[in-house]
Amino acid sequence: MPTIAIVGAGSGLGLSIAKVFGRNGFSVALVARTQEKLDGLAAELREAGTEAAGFTADVTDRPSLVAAFTRIKERFGQVDVLEYSPAPKTSTGAMIAPLDATVENLQPELEYYLYGGLTAAQQVLPEMIERDAGTLLFTTGGSSLDVFAGPPEFGNIAVATSALRAYALKLNQVLTGTGVYVAHVPIFAWIGSGGPETQADTIAELYWDVYTKREGAEHPYDIR
Ligand SMILES: NC(=O)c1ccc[n+]([C@@H]2O[C@H](COP(=O)([O-])OP(=O)(O)OC[C@H]3O[C@@H](n4cnc5c(N)ncnc54)[C@H](OP(=O)(O)O)[C@@H]3O)[C@@H](O)[C@H]2O)c1
């Protein structure tokens, strides 16, 4: 049974992606900071017939992320799909306009998006390359692709998610023609804010589509 690891798994997009892959025969490893919340999500997935378990890690605490993947592999074996989508609600907390940016206040955002995403990828990529099979999916907000999409206060997020986007696209470039597929999904929507097109379950269908078609490096979900 293939396994998807969802890093930054909450009751929104993370759970919805888990449900879609679970319905299609995947086991699901959920990664976030709060074991209790993860246990609740895993129980919901198991009730729907999906094998699932939660593994705590903070993406800004790299050793904790490495340790989580060790536990995931002990439990599920190889990771076939990595999806990286932590939600910044309670991470660094700050929104910094460019005129207020400093090395000190940009660093936490880079830790969160770029270094967290890179660290997660490093836990699965060497084995995927050896097997010549696997998928990495990176999720960000739309300002990674269109820096004018958000207000100036999204400055630090735009810079850091643009860096993660560039890393994902360069991975796609170097791995094109191999069995390992990498894609970036920038979301131009407030998830759950309105009609069906904003709902996490709707957006999650895109991930199954991207995973199965394996075409192109970038798949914006844009409902502007
Ligand atoms: N929500 C939106 O409107 C929106 C808009 C555009 C793009 N996106 C993208 O969608 C993805 C998130 O979807 P969502 O908002 O529906 O979130 P979600 O899947 O409901 O939850 C994400 C989870 O990330 C976890 N998380 C936060 N900080 C973390 C950290 N430092 N280390 C590990 N886990 C952490 C949180 O759990 P813990 O607190 O337990 O760690 C949270 O439950 C992100 O890629 C985001 O960029 C969201």
Tell me the per-residue pLDDT of 175-213, one tens digit each, with 9 for 90 and over. Answer: 999 999 999 999 999 999 999 999 999 999 999 999 999
Of residues 10, 7, 12, the one with CA closest to residue 201: 12
Q: Which residue ranges form the domains of the chain, and what is each CATH number?
A: 3-222 (3.40.50.720)
For residue 174, pLDDT beyond 90: yes
d(CA 223, CA 122): 32
Distance CA 216, CA 194 (A): 29
Neighbouring CB atoms inside 10 A of 94's CB total 14
Q: Is the CB of 155 under 6 A from ligand 1?
A: no
Q: Which amino acid is at 109?
A: E
Residue 93 — very low, low, confident or very high, per pLDDT cuts 50/70/90? low
Rounded to whole angstroms, how far apart are CA atoms 91 and 161?
14
Residue nearest to atom 34 of ligand 1 (CA): 32
Q: For ligand 1, is residue 28 a contact (CB within 6 Å)?
A: no
Atom 28 of ligand 1, nearest CA residue: 91
Distance 191 CA to ligand 1 centre (A): 11
- The string of DSSP codes covering the chain is --EEEEES--TTHHHHHHHHHHHTT-EEEEEES-HHHHHHHHHHHHHTT--EEEEE--TTSHHHHHHHHHHHHHHH-S--EEEE---GGGTT-----GGG--HHHHHHHHIIIIIHHHHHHHHHHHHHHHHT-EEEEEEEEGGGT-TTSS-GGGHHHHHHHHHHHHHHHHHHHHHTTSSEEEEEEEEES-TTSSSGGGSHHHHHHHHHHHHHH---SB--EE--
pLDDT band, very low/low/confident/very high, at 164 (cuts 50, 70, 90): very high
pLDDT on residue 89? 63
What's residue 91's pLDDT?
A: 42
99 pLDDT higher than 90:
yes
Does residue 33 surpass a pLDDT of 50?
yes
Question: Considering the entire predicted model, what is its pTM?
Answer: 0.97
Q: What is the predicted pLDDT for the residue at 21?
A: 98
Is the shortest distance between the CB of 190 and ligand 1 below 6 Å?
yes
Tell me how far apart the alpha carbons of residues 152 and 164 are, in angstroms, rounded to a whole number. Answer: 19
Q: Ligand 1 in contact with 40 (CB < 6 A)?
A: no
Distance CA 78, CA 19 (A): 19
Cβ-proximal residues to 151 (8 Å cutoff; 6+ apart), any chain: none
Q: Are 150 and 98 in contact (CB under 8 A)?
A: no
- Considering just the CA atoms, what is the radius of gyration of the chain in Å? 16
**Phi/psi-derived region of residue 181, left when phi > 0, alpha when psi is between -120 and 50, beta in every other case:** beta
pLDDT of the residue at 95: 85
